[in-house]
């Protein structure tokens, strides 16, 4: 279970202090698939980065399974069972897909096991396992490999920062299928997805609407989604293509 208590985060730019998140409190219970949505600039990605420990809050506390992890760094949180999928996956010269999956799983993963994770994200494993995670891979391929590393980690809490960003329509269909599978097999772990996509919002157990750094609304799909449709908080993929 993840608990955020009175979390605030501010940055300073040109001597002016700007508050990105203000006194935010929320609880994500085990076994839940939660989607955090909201307009651009509402603080969604910052919130995700605070959960992973990439950013430190200005004030407030973060508890994971009852333990105060506010002062812990990225590595310690990862070891406790927090995973994070980057909005823009990182490229590495020389590190291959199999290497990253092995680092993610924390063991000398066999080729066939690694291939299972790649197949799960819709990549033909044989073509990718020895590929370097460099600029020869497209944005969509990188995104899927990023998700495969989280599947390989199988942690108690997985945070995805805009998984749909930068992927094509075909990959998007596949992405939805992956998240539907993850939701089915969630057991006592929990999944937090930062997303604008209606299709992703539709499979949420709970939707959290963030605006101007605070939570505006929390509720089930039926409670929150109808009010969001047509607002800038949720934009349909097809609408964008029209």
Partner 1 sequence: MLDLNIDDIGKSLLAEIADIHDTPAGAYNFRVNSQLAGRHTTDNIDIMTKEGLPGIDIFIKPHTKGESVHIPVVVSASGIKETVYNDFYIGDDCDVVIVAGCGIDNCGEHDSQHDGVHRFYVGKNAHIKYVEKHYGSGDGNGKRILNPQTEVYMEENSSMEMEMEQIKGVDSTVRTTIAELKAGSKLVVKERLMTHGDQVAKSDYMVTLNGENATADVVSRSVARDTSSQTFNARITGNAPCNGHTECDSIIMDSGKILAIPSLEANDVDAMLFHEAAIGKIAGDQLIKLMTLGLTEAEAEEQIIKGFLR
User: Rule CB under 8 A: which of 162-191 touch partner 1?
Assistant: none
Residue with token string 């006592």: 188
CA 117 – CA 147 distance, rounded (Å):
9
**Sequence-separated (6 or more) residues with CB below 8 Å from residue 222:** none
Site string for partner 1, 18-57 (x = CB under 8 A): ----------------------------------x-x---
| Nearest C-alpha neighbor of 167 from the set 142, 196, 201 | 142
Q: How far is the CB of 116 from partner 1 (least distance, A)?
A: 18
74 binds partner 1 per the rule CB under 8 A = yes
How far apart CA 88 and CA 75 sit, in angstroms, is: 20
Q: Out of 17, 94, 108, 188, point to the residue binding partner 1 (CB under 8 A).
A: 94
- Helical axes 139-153 vs 111-120, angle rounded to 10°: 120
How many residues belong to the site for partner 1 (CB under 8 A)?
25
Q: Output 133 or 176, the one with its CB closest to partner 1.
A: 133
149 near partner 1, rule: CB under 8 A: yes
Instruction: Please list the residues that pair with 157 across neighbouring strands.
Output: 82, 190
Q: Which of residues 123-142 bind partner 1 (CB under 8 A)?
A: 132
CA–CA gap between residue 27 and residue 47 (Å, rounded): 13
Rule CB under 8 A: which residues touch partner 1?
52, 54, 73-75, 78-79, 83-84, 86, 89-90, 92-96, 99-100, 103-104, 106, 132, 149, 153
């Amino acid at each position: 279970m993840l608990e955020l208590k009175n979390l605030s985060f501010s940055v300073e730019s040109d001597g002016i202090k700007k508050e990105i998140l203000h006194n935010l409190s929320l609880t994500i219970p085990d076994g839940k698939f939660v989607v955090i949505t909201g307009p651009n600039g509402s603080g969604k990605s910052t919130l995700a980065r605070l959960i992973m420990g990439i950013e430190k809050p200005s004030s407030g506390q973060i508890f994971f399974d009852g333990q105060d992890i506010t002062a812990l760094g990225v590595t310690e949180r990862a070891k406790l069972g927090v995973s994070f999928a980057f909005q823009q996956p990182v490229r590495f010269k020389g590190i291959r897909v199999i290497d990253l999956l092995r680092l993610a799983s924390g063991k000398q993963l066999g080729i066939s096991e690694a291939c299972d994770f790649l197949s799960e994200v819709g990549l033909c494993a044989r073509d990718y396992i020895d590929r370097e995670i460099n600029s020869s891979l497209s944005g969509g391929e990188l995104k899927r490999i990023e998700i495969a590393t989280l599947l390989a980690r199988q942690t108690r809490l997985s945070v995805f920062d805009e998984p749909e960003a930068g992927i094509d329509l075909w990959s998007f269909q596949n992405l939805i299928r992956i998240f539907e599978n993850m939701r089915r097999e969630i057991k006592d772990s929990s999944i937090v997805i930062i997303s604008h996509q209606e299709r992703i919002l539709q499979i949420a157990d709970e939707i959290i609407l963030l605006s101007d750094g605070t939570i505006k609304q929390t509720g089930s799909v039926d409670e929150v989604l109808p009010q969001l449709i047509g607002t800038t908080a949720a934009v349909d993929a097809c609408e964008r293509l029209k």
